[in-house]
């Protein structure tokens, strides 16, 4: 073998690419403010949908500056049994089923 060792780059630890000619994606900075006046600035992509409420690092809810606070941002509409039933059947179908069941019980108890 040779007395001298081969010298080269360490694999994976250094990149041969440069940042010349690379443009970052367009961005926008949005300011939020908490009820006690704490200011929070968040950077979003230019095409991103901006949320009206942001939670700061301190855990406080911040509202977008010059924006309106939504009524209940974290509250989801709670579906009732009636809502789920109306997803499967129309009111006319329900009235027909009710009439059939009433007739069934009348016949059953008439004996």
CA atoms of 72 and 34, how far apart (whole Å) = 16
pLDDT digits (tens, 9 = 90+) for 76-97: 678 899 999 999 999 999 999 9
Q: Which pLDDT value is given to residue 10?
A: 66
Considering the domain 27-64, what is its CATH architecture? Single Sheet (2.20)
Nearest CA to 55 among 67, 43, 45, 64?
64
CA atoms of 37 and 19, how far apart (whole Å) = 39
Nearest CA to 53 among 76, 26, 30, 36?
30
What pTM does this model have?
0.46
Q: What average pLDDT does the segment 30-43 reach? A: 91
Break the chain into its structural domains and give their ranges: 27-64, 79-110
Alpha-helix runs per DSSP H in the chain: 81-88, 91-110
Q: Is the pLDDT of residue 1 over 60?
A: no
């Amino acid at each position: 073998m040779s007395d001298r060792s081969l010298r080269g780059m360490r694999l994976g630890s250094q990149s041969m690419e440069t940042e010349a000619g690379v443009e970052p994606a367009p961005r926008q900075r949005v300011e939020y403010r908490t009820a006690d006046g704490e200011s929070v600035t968040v950077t979003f992509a230019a095409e991103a949908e901006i949320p009206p409420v942001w939670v700061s690092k301190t855990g406080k809810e911040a509202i977008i500056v010059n924006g309106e606070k939504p009524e209940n941002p974290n509250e989801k509409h709670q579906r009732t049994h009636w809502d789920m039933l109306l997803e499967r059947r129309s009111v006319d179908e329900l009235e027909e089923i009710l009439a059939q069941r009433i007739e069934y019980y009348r016949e059953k108890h008439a004996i």
